[in-house]
Amino acid sequence: MSKSKGREPRAEAVSPRDQAVQDKLESLKGDFKELETKKIQTETNIQTLEAELQRLREQARQTYGTSDLEELKALLEKRRRENEHLVAEYEQHIRGIKDRLADIESPPEPEAP
């Protein structure tokens, strides 16, 4: 048996069973590469979102004096009640103006003879 210089040894025929395993391995390698890419993207997204969360927490502390979610919910509820009260007062004020205007615009009733 002589070997030629620069030539690879000739591959033997691969059985269908071995080829199926090889094909599956190649497919899994592709899946792994996709998952690795998604992992990197997800890690980047997590870092971005964590930085955004920190920024928003700091903004909440500066604006509302807290970044605690329960305290912010309580503050929101308090402000909603205040707004409802102010709107109700404004509604009464407008109603009073309309009533006075109607009194002014309505002609006086004639006096009885």
pLDDT category at 3 given cuts 50, 70, 90 is low
Helices (H), the chain: 16-64, 69-105
**Strand, coil or helix: 26:** helix
CA distance 46 to 31: 22
Predicted TM-score of the model (pTM): 0.57
**Token representation of residue 110:** 């004639």
CA distance 84 to 76: 12
What does the pLDDT look like over 45-84, one tens digit per residue?
999 999 999 999 999 999 999 999 999 999 999 999 999 9
Whole-number pLDDT of residue 107: 75
Share of the chain above pLDDT 70, in %: 88
Of 71, 46, 76, the residue nearest 61 (C-alpha):
71
